[in-house]
Amino acid sequence: MGLEMEVKPRGTENRTDLEDLHLYATPREQRFRRFASLEFEGQLYMTPYDFIQAVTNDEPKHAKKWRSLSKQELNQILMETPPVWKGSSKLFRNLNEKGVISYTEYLFLLCILTKPHAGFRIAFNMFDTDGNEMVDKKEFLVLQEIFRKKNEKRERKGDEEKRALLRLQLYGYHTSTNSVLKTEGEDLVPRSYWDTLRRSTSQALFSDLAERADDITSSLSDTTLLVHFFGKKGKAELNFEDFYRFMDNLQTEVLEIEFLSYSNGMNTISEEDFAHILLRYTNVENTSSYLENMRCRIPEEKGITFDEFRSFFQFLNNLEDFTIAMQMYNFASRSIGQDEFKRAVYVATGLKLSPHLVNTVFKIFDVDRDDQLSYKEFIGIMKDRLNRGFRGYKPIQRYTTFKSCVRKELYSR
């Protein structure tokens, strides 16, 4: 790849070895390695700026080299981390380069971006393994092992020494092949990280995983997220209200960044920009036909406000519930109009989409121009497009900067 600087966590690895590691990495790991810019004791980290870039751009703006942090530099970064009660929808932008995000935290943050608000309580309860309505640092760190164990099942075969080096970069310690979570007899059907987290946190209560939390805590360096949630001494506990606010703020911040990159200081983005965002990372082969269809049917630009923009992506995070509602309308076998669409969205999600927003969506996806949407025209495409960087990027004709969205449930091919 030629992008990485020499990193020698154990004093033995050379540059060629490190560049070769990309061949052994999964698509998720490759993306994290491309956008990460920091290294501490062999482990790679993103800055908050790197994370924002990774979820709003196809590639890093500049070729990156991993900058090695000293212990003193890391401590200084962590000392400047605000507590969770000072969080806001500008947290990542305010921190910018002054923060460190590990690979497992990167996966966790991606999960957050595609969860409906109703799922925030489920997420909190998954971490709250003792059921005391508070999450402590030890409970949160179970996440590290759960994601690592899932990843071991998906590892690409090859040189075990290089795989061990890659694990060091991603997880901060050499992992053994011994199973921590019970895996014998489990099916290996690919699951989302969200589903894995939901299943495995319950299992952790009855395994030695929770017992190993002390070992995990002592072997890993603190990060910006850990200090933000649990304080500089790691003794604070996270309640649901703060957890909910963090998740909601993160979703809002990413959407604000995406919206502002199109709006050029105005209060709206064009309907065409909105269409670009929705069509990106889909399997639609001829996206230009969708854009042309919309231009012909919405000749005068009215614009999409941020509130409309945000409400639509909140709706997409509820796409599964919406799909169920549509099945009740027998949507899978027939088309529906705009009024039925708005009613189903409200019933499934509690969100009221504006008439102009719904009309714009229909004008984009109603390819046969019958003022109806079929399952294939909308649900099939939208289920496919919720992806930030885990599928092969397929460029479409650009009229402005494009961004992407997170594919729900983080499935990769």
Helix or strand run (H / E) with residue 395? none
Q: Cα separation of 233 and 222, whole Å?
A: 10
pLDDT above 90 covers a percentage of the chain that reads 33
Q: What pLDDT score does 216 carry?
A: 54
Contact call for residues 39 and 67 (beta carbons, < 8 A):
yes
Mean pLDDT, residues 361-365? 90
Residues with Cβ < 8 Å from 309, sequence gap 6 or more? 255, 259, 269, 274
Neighbours of 290 (CB within 10 A): 22
Q: Residue 124 — left, alpha, or beta (φ > 0 → left; ψ -120 to 50 → alpha)?
A: alpha
Residue 67, SS3? strand
Which tokens sit at 413? 């091919």
Mean pLDDT, residues 28-57? 92
Q: What pLDDT score does 273 carry?
A: 92
Mean pLDDT, residues 197-221? 52
Q: What pLDDT score does 268 carry?
A: 95
DSSP codes, 2-18: --PPP--SSS---HHHH
Q: What pLDDT score does 223 carry?
A: 95
Stronger pLDDT, 377 or 315, i.e. the higher one = 315
Stronger pLDDT, 165 or 225, i.e. the higher one = 225
Contact call for residues 55 and 406 (beta carbons, < 8 A):
yes
If you ran DSSP here, which 8-state letter would residue 267 be given?
S
From 73-77, 223-227, 365-369, the region with the lowest mean pLDDT: 365-369
Q: Cα separation of 101 and 79, whole Å?
A: 15
Strands of the sheet containing 67-68, edge to edge, are: 43-45, 38-40, 67-68
Q: Cα separation of 24 and 109, whole Å?
A: 24
Answer whether residue 13 shows pLDDT above 50: no
From 136-150, 172-186, 330-344, the region with the lowest mean pLDDT: 172-186
Mean pLDDT, residues 144-171? 70
Q: What pLDDT score does 184 carry?
A: 38
Q: What pLDDT score does 205 carry?
A: 41
Answer whether residue 409 shows pLDDT above 80: no
Q: What pLDDT score does 38 carry?
A: 95
Contact call for residues 142 and 204 (beta carbons, < 8 A):
yes
Answer whether residue 368 shows pLDDT above 90: no
Mean pLDDT, residues 55-75? 88
Q: Cα separation of 77 and 253, whole Å?
A: 21
Residues with Cβ < 8 Å from 216, sequence gap 6 or more? 141, 142, 144, 145
Q: What pLDDT score does 91 carry?
A: 96
Stronger pLDDT, 220 or 296, i.e. the higher one = 296
Mean pLDDT, residues 336-341? 89
What's the helix, strand, coil split of the chain in %, to 5?
55, 5, 40
Q: What pLDDT score does 43 carry?
A: 92
Q: What pLDDT score does 6 carry?
A: 41
Q: Cα separation of 95 and 167, whole Å?
A: 27
Stronger pLDDT, 131 or 267, i.e. the higher one = 267
Mean pLDDT, residues 24-50? 91
From 70-74, 109-113, 166-170, 395-399, the region with the lowest mean pLDDT: 395-399
Residue 160, SS3? helix
DSSP codes, 338-377: HHHHHHHHHHHH-----HHHHHHHHHHH-TT-SS-B-TTT
Q: Cα separation of 409 and 195, whole Å?
A: 8
Write out pLDDT tens, residues 104-150. 899 889 888 888 888 888 878 878 878 888 999 988 888 667 766 66
Residue 398, SS3? coil
Contact call for residues 362 and 370 (beta carbons, < 8 A):
no
Largest CA distance in the chain: 66
What pLDDT band is residue 217 in, cutting at 50, 70 and 90?
Answer: low
Mean pLDDT, residues 72-83? 95
Chain-wide mean pLDDT for the chain?
Answer: 76
Answer whether residue 156 shows pLDDT above 70: no
Q: What pLDDT score does 22 carry?
A: 72
Q: What pLDDT score does 103 carry?
A: 93
Which tokens sit at 137? 């640092």
Stronger pLDDT, 106 or 16, i.e. the higher one = 106
pLDDT above 70 covers a percentage of the chain that reads 71
Q: Cα separation of 247 and 124, whole Å?
A: 10
Helix or strand run (H / E) with residue 68? strand 67-68
Q: Which residues of 95-134 are buried (b: 16+ CB within 10 A; e: fewer)?
A: beebbbbbbbbbbbbbbbbbbbbebbeebbebbbbeeeeb
What pLDDT band is residue 198 in, cutting at 50, 70 and 90?
Answer: low
Answer whether residue 93 shows pLDDT above 80: yes
